[in-house]
Structures are given as C-alpha cells and as structure tokens.
C-alpha cells in the first residue's frame, strides 16, 4: 500500500483521540447513548484506520491477529463469569450484585461498567479480526 505521508500523519494524530472517544462511549454508556458495542466499534475503527493508512502488515505487527483472537475469547469468558457471579450468590444469571452508586455518577450502574468494558473489548477485537480476514483472503477460496 503506497499512501501519502500526509494521510499517515493525520491517521497517527487522530488515533489516540478516536481511542479516547471509544473509551468514553464504553464507560458512559449507562448515562448517555453509547455502551460496550458502540465503544468497541469505535476502538476497532481506530485500528482499521491505522491499517488503511500504514498497511495491514505494518498494523498487524502492533495489533497481532492471534492476540486479538485471544482477547476476544477472554472477553467472552469474562462475560460468562460475570454472569455466573449472580448464580454464585443465589440470584439469576447476570443479576447485578455490585452496589449501585449515586444516580448520574459514572459508578452508578453496578455491573454495567464491567460488562460494557468486556463487550467493548470483544467487539473491538472481533471487528479488527474480521477486517484482517477480509483483507487477507479477498474473496479467494
């Protein structure tokens, strides 16, 4: 991929801000529009932006496909374990067992924040993995 230096510089400068916005969407999803899925898509899109500007091979050196796959599987396992915590304490699956904070504060939703973080990791790793697969195979069977 032969992209211009301007495109690479802009992508490099925007990358941390896009990541920060993805983290904001993830953490504030219970207070405003957003959440784990939306934040994960934005984080995955930031990685895809680097791949489009620097090339997939260069980006895959920083965000390796096997690490992303492991993160995705670990996020699913963590989600299930968080759900089983409710059963462990005698409640239904995914029952909120954490104390609720003051209404309107960031830590006011009990288990929603850990669940949003886990979902965000899962979605970001999944979207990036799908992009890598589409670029690598390009419809070749």
Domain assignments of the chain as residue spans, ordered by start: 5-137
Residues 6+ apart with CB under 8 A from 120: 22, 26, 36, 37, 39, 40, 43
Positive or negative: CA dihedral 103, 109, 113, 114: positive
- Residue 98: band (very low, low, confident or very high) from pLDDT cuts 50, 70, 90: confident
Residue 94 has pLDDT above 90, yes or no: no
Query: Can you say whether residue 64 is alpha, beta or left, with left for phi > 0 and alpha for psi between -120 and 50 degrees?
Result: beta
What one-character DSSP code corresponds to residue 111?
T
Residue 103 has pLDDT above 50, yes or no: yes
- Report d(CA 135, CA 126) in Å as an integer: 14
| pLDDT value for 141 | 47
The model carries a pTM of 0.86
Looking at the chain, how many residues does it have?
141
CB 130 within 8 A of CB 48: no
- From the centroid of its chain, how far is CA 67? 13
When pLDDT is averaged across residues 86-107 and rounded to a whole number, the result is: 80
Percentages (nearest 5) of helix, strand, coil residues in the chain: 70, 0, 30
Closest CA to 48 of 131, 136, 135, 138: 131
| pLDDT value for 100 | 75
Between 96 and 104, whose confidence is greater? 96
| pLDDT value for 72 | 95
Residue 1 has pLDDT above 70, yes or no: no
- Tens of pLDDT, residue by residue over 46-78, are 999 999 998 888 899 999 999 999 999 999 999
| pLDDT value for 90 | 87
Token representation of residue 23: 């983290």
């Amino acid at each position: 991929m032969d992209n211009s230096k301007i495109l690479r510089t802009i992508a490099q400068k925007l990358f941390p801000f896009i990541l920060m916005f993805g983290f904001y969407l993830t953490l504030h999803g219970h207070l405003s529009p957003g959440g784990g899925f939306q934040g994960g898509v934005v984080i995955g899109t930031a990685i895809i932006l680097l791949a489009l500007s620097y090339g997939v091979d260069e980006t895959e050196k920083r965000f390796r496909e096997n690490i992303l796959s492991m993160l995705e599987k670990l996020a699913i396992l963590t989600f299930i374990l968080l759900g089983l915590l409710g059963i462990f304490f005698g409640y239904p699956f995914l029952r909120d067992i954490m104390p609720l904070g003051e209404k309107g504060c960031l830590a006011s939703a009990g288990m929603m924040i850990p669940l949003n973080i886990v979902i965000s990791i899962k979605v970001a790793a999944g979207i990036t993995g799908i992009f890598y697969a589409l670029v690598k195979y390009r419809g070749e069977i």
